[in-house]
Structure 1
């Protein structure tokens, strides 16, 4: 099955989408959520923005269907070289979370 995305260019697209939404405002918290979605065997990435004393806003920045775990690590590594936001992992096994936390300090 052909993939709808390319590993080499996907990290550049993710960085461009983060750049479009990142405003670097005072007293605002920013983080990236990486979510495993089992039915598609893929991952979704969200850029979260929370100004102080307000609700958080979540913006979808990538949807990686039929993505292997090793490919996800490569993509996050390239994005992490540009942006050092906190990463939040959802629906991963404990071993995978531990591995990603060690790798992306």
Structure 2
């Protein structure tokens, strides 16, 4: 797991350039059809389109291991993490909801 973290940080660091009026965040996508978790770096300068750059895929499709990996990742970066494809799922250790979705009135 630390090998994955080192590889991801090596790819992430050159992309985070700390430019003014630029928004940076990570996306974590749950790929259910090919069991994997995919990380993307998102960059959006003011008044420009968003770019999404693939960083790394975790093929160990285990939610408990992912929770541990996210904890390690948060120790190395303070970027916001956007979760995609985790509706109605909870972290095994903390039992917290992973992805919040606003409730729709039908």
Q: Give TM-score, length-normalised by structure 1.
A: 0.81
1:23 aligns with 2:17: yes
- The 2-side partners of 1:38 and 1:95 are apart by 13
| Count, aligned residues | 95
Mapping for residues 65-84 of structure 1, pairs under 5 Å: 65-84=59-78
Aligned Cα root-mean-square deviation (Å): 1.7
Structure 1 residue ranges without an equivalent (≥5):
1-6
Segments ≥4 residues shifted beyond 6 Å: none
- The 2-side partners of 1:47 and 1:30 are apart by 7
Asked if the contact 1:34–1:44 (Cα under 8 Å) also holds between the matched residues in 2, the reply is yes
Higher relative contact order (CA 8 A, sep 6+): 1
Q: Deviations over 1:22-79 (max 9, x none)?
A: 1000010000000000022211000000000000101100111242111111111111
- The 2-side partners of 1:8 and 1:70 are apart by 15
1:58 aligns to what SS in structure 2? Answer: strand
Q: Give TM-score, length-normalised by structure 2.
A: 0.81
* Structure (1 or 2) with the larger CA radius of gyration: 2
1:45 aligns with 2:43: no
2:53 aligns to what SS in structure 1? Answer: strand
